[in-house]
Structure 1
């Protein structure tokens, strides 16, 4: 019987309102006969006594009465503060014991200590936000951090309106804070914003701005969540075999993603996205469990958007192409291209060589254009692991040129090009996948800034 009672008590814990914790708990305990009428009346009487004392303090002891609306707000504040203390208890049984035995005034005093600690914690969290903030022109983001949240600390009344939420928070999180108010709401908001900032710190600031511009030209005026846009495109990059930090996706990438998902069920798409999320975390060396959980939760919303976009053939609304300013684009002009006879002579020389180092030397000395290099890779004069040795000999800029010259969806598509073209492209993909994450990311970043 005792075990049954304990289980009954604990089963009620999930029914308690997070926003009106103390009031909700009293109602549940009374309706489930865990608090007698006499015990409830005792708590109510003590609450009224505490209200009268607080009202006197509110009027600076000049009056013992205030407008009904003011009294109601003060009572909500008292209950909110008591609720903070009760939330700290590990079991419903502990809460019941406190309500029955500790006295409302004692519960309120303990709640005030927690309230003060939470205010200081929020100040610390805001300082962390300042340190990790994104360099963005988005008004909602900057105004919330610079003006809206600091206003909370100026106007928050811990004694008479601890349940209130002053300040102005316009920037939307990827996961909204619900069913919380007062300093609890701010604490949760700042914690989630901190997690979002931490994730975005893995990416190049200019890439993020280019992503926002690609989303909407007038993005600075929009109420958009930066984290979700960054996560979405990063997942897209993983799906097409690009570095997760790259962010940029083109039409060919979208065609490739669409073909991968064609005919898949909702469960299969979910599995594919969750797998991409796990790979993303592995590639970026993300070990923070809170961030990993947050990524997974937001991915659920991305999956819904993705399924809707696939249904109406509007994948460009989900996976965005970065829009860079002309100042960030490097226009590459190719070198002099060999004549047909010169090209045949070079490729025959390469074919005759048995040593990869000799082939690399001929390529270095005989080829002076990107076009000739690509044609040589597909000319049946380089074989097997010789491709890898040639890729190793190229610097990051040269590798970026090679990648940029080939659309991702075509470069690794088995239906594209001749057999020799497919071979060198498969070897290119193999080589890129074996690179460490930082070098791979740098090569792709250079590639996205090139116009070939």
Structure 2
């Protein structure tokens, strides 16, 4: 005897709370009767030979198909009161055939919009779905997903979805991920993927997520999102910015950046906008951890072969502990020559946060030009961004800010 668990999906719906137990028992009996007829069709007349496991799967399929036909509690009751349960089961084939046709259209669009970036799981999954839609036995096993889906989406499809509903939702999400990535140059995406993992072609990765992550990061530092790569100094600026925010404020900034990105890429569909926002907000736990570790390098990526880092002061995101920073500030303060101060800064300072503290306490207006002349373009850009976005209460003791702006305006 088949267990009762599966019919509860259909009958114990919260919308059916007002239906009496007697009515539910009647509905259960009719469902078992339909299961008998479906089993007889499946075995071509020999229903007594079907294993219990197969009967369970047939009942799951019936439940799935009837749920697609009955959209509200009233229609469910009326259907069970009449003799039309088998007719509804058969009519559901027409409904599901339309869903399969939609799935084939979505698959064609996925193939057309492919980024062309090699990834075994992506290629295998697309092929599997194509074969699965052809082999889909929706009359008896409609609830099953008739293919292996290995390629990971940025936002996974709910496991509550079954059969063609799961496939179509998966393809809808994959199609958007493809379309999003197609806004950017293929070679730049590959550059990011090379940093994301050594074997992006062979591993189970998602192509869209690291692309969107960098796009969000670039928008946050007001850089060109189409560059796709996040430079080390931009990452440092972002870390400094995040450190001066609460988690709630970071969350708000991520949502704001997601909206900005959608505007720039002319993404207006509600589903697609929400997809970008959800993916952006998924970064929050990783950013929290990055702040604790003083390092965002594993989140916002540079190309594998980066510029010579020795040319930059603040590139590795490691801030000093308070005691060491105080000692360094005292050491720089007693230097007689600006050149000696600059030498110590270049040798010791590894983060924007530390650099700003030293400038606030050690570098005076008449020393700024000499310092600026020793900085790389990236370092100047980072300090410029800091000044444009710094908090009003973070005022220096030395007055270096205005002089810095004057000096770089003459470049």
TM score, norm. by length of structure 2? 0.72
1:223 and 1:406 map into 2 onto residues whose CA distance is 35
In the alignment, which of 186, 190, 208 is matched to residue 209 of structure 1?
A: 190
The answer for the alignment partner of 1:26 in structure 2 is 11
1:58 and 1:40 map into 2 onto residues whose CA distance is 26
Q: Are 2:282 and 1:301 aligned?
A: yes
1:407-450 Cα distance to aligned partner (Å, 9 max, x none): 5424544468844433257xxxxxxxxxxxxxxxxxxxxxxxxx
Secondary structure at 2:19 match in 1: coil
The answer for the alignment partner of 1:74 in structure 2 is 58
CA contact (8 A) 2:231 2:302 kept: yes
1:161-218 Cα distance to aligned partner (Å, 9 max, x none): 1111121111111111111111111111111111111211111111111110011222
Secondary structure at 1:261 match in 2: helix
2:284 and 2:171 map into 1 onto residues whose CA distance is 25
The answer for the alignment partner of 2:147 in structure 1 is 167
2:124 and 2:306 map into 1 onto residues whose CA distance is 25
Secondary structure at 1:135 match in 2: coil
CA contact (8 A) 1:43 1:99 kept: yes
The answer for the alignment partner of 2:40 in structure 1 is 56
How do residues 330-345 of structure 1 correspond to structure 2 at under 5 angstroms?
Answer: none
TM superposition shift of 1:93? 4.0
How do residues 181-200 of structure 1 correspond to structure 2 at under 5 angstroms?
Answer: 181-200=162-181
TM superposition shift of 1:237? 0.8
2:228 and 2:155 map into 1 onto residues whose CA distance is 21
2:202 and 2:248 map into 1 onto residues whose CA distance is 36
How do residues 307-318 of structure 1 correspond to structure 2 at under 5 angstroms?
Answer: 307-318=288-299
The answer for the alignment partner of 1:36 in structure 2 is 20
2:89 and 2:140 map into 1 onto residues whose CA distance is 12
The answer for the alignment partner of 1:409 in structure 2 is 382
1:170 and 1:421 map into 2 onto residues whose CA distance is 55
The answer for the alignment partner of 1:421 in structure 2 is 407
CA contact (8 A) 1:155 1:166 kept: yes
The answer for the alignment partner of 1:135 in structure 2 is 116
Cα 1:307/1:78, change in 2 over 3 Å: same
TM score, norm. by length of structure 1? 0.66
In the alignment, which of 269, 274, 278 is matched to residue 250 of structure 2?
A: 269
1:46 and 1:227 map into 2 onto residues whose CA distance is 47
1:88-121 Cα distance to aligned partner (Å, 9 max, x none): x2x4444444444473223312322211111111
Secondary structure at 1:245 match in 2: helix
Q: Are 2:85 and 1:104 aligned?
A: yes
CA contact (8 A) 2:30 2:80 kept: no
The answer for the alignment partner of 1:255 in structure 2 is 236
TM superposition shift of 1:293? 1.1
The answer for the alignment partner of 1:281 in structure 2 is 262
Cα 1:263/1:160, change in 2 over 3 Å: same
Cα 1:95/1:58, change in 2 over 3 Å: closer
Secondary structure at 1:173 match in 2: coil
CA contact (8 A) 2:6 2:59 kept: no
The answer for the alignment partner of 1:447 in structure 2 is none
TM superposition shift of 1:236? 0.9
Cα 1:203/1:111, change in 2 over 3 Å: same
Contiguous gaps of at least 5 residues in structure 2: 308-368, 371-375, 388-399
> May I ask how many residue pairs the two structures share in their alignment?
326
1:134 and 1:297 map into 2 onto residues whose CA distance is 22
CA contact (8 A) 1:43 1:104 kept: no
The answer for the alignment partner of 1:157 in structure 2 is 137
Cα 1:30/1:263, change in 2 over 3 Å: closer
2:287 and 2:174 map into 1 onto residues whose CA distance is 24
The answer for the alignment partner of 2:394 in structure 1 is none
1:214 and 1:324 map into 2 onto residues whose CA distance is 9
CA contact (8 A) 1:55 1:71 kept: yes
The answer for the alignment partner of 1:348 in structure 2 is none
The answer for the alignment partner of 1:120 in structure 2 is 101
Secondary structure at 1:55 match in 2: helix
Cα 1:409/1:119, change in 2 over 3 Å: same
In the alignment, which of 84, 88, 92 is matched to residue 68 of structure 2?
A: 84
CA contact (8 A) 1:237 1:249 kept: yes
Cα 1:63/1:290, change in 2 over 3 Å: closer
The answer for the alignment partner of 1:335 in structure 2 is none
Q: Are 2:226 and 1:245 aligned?
A: yes
The answer for the alignment partner of 1:401 in structure 2 is none
Deviates more, 1:55-64 or 1:235-244: 55-64
